[in-house]
Structure 1
Amino acid sequence: MQQIHDLLPFLIPLVIVELALLIYTLVDIFKHDHYKHGTRAMWLIITIVGMNFVGPILYFLLGREEN
């Protein structure tokens, strides 16, 4: 129990940043109709399943089409 308590100052900001990135990515996916690679459904699955930074980062690197 003490170990978890010691890690909380590091974990809380990490969880906040992760959730903010996830929400921003989901909003961006629903706003756009066209993607460089794949479909909306594919990017939703990748983003939600790969929630630990990997899914959203992959979307912004590979899926998001520049305006």
Structure 2
Amino acid sequence: MGEVANLFELLWPLLVLQLILIVIALIAWFKTDQTKGPKWLWLLIILFANIIGPILFFIIGRRTD
């Protein structure tokens, strides 16, 4: 049981970071009218690609024009 607690102590900052990234990306996705590619596809990428999905949305997915 001690090993599981130690592992959780190491991983909780990553889990919190992932949750924050997903929430911020979902807010940005909701406010964005147009994306590069289908908007529904970016929603799936944000939700299911863990940490890399929201980062990809901010780098590639948002349309700035």
- Shorter-chain TM-score range: 0.7 to 0.9
Residue of structure 2 equivalent to 1:12: 12
Q: 1:47, 1:8 → 2: CA distance?
A: 24
Structure 1: distance between partners of 2:51 and 2:44: 14
User: CA–CA distance in 1 between the matches of 2:56 and 2:42?
Assistant: 9
Q: Spell out structure 1 runs of 4+ moving beyond 3 A.
A: none
- The CA deviation string for residues 12-60 of structure 1, in whole angstroms up to 9 with x for no partner, is 111111000000000100001111x21210100111111x211111111
Counterpart residue number, 1:63: 61
Q: Distance in 1 between matches of 2:16 and 2:38?
A: 27
Q: Tell me what 1:29 maps to.
A: 29
Q: Which runs of 5+ in 1 are unaligned?
A: none
Q: What number of residue pairs does the alignment pair up?
A: 65
Distance across 2 between alignment mates of 1:60 and 1:13: 21
Q: What pairs with 1:38-57 in structure 2 (closer than 5 Å)?
A: 38-50=37-49, 52-57=50-55
Unaligned runs of 5+ in 2: none
AA aligned opposite 1:56: P
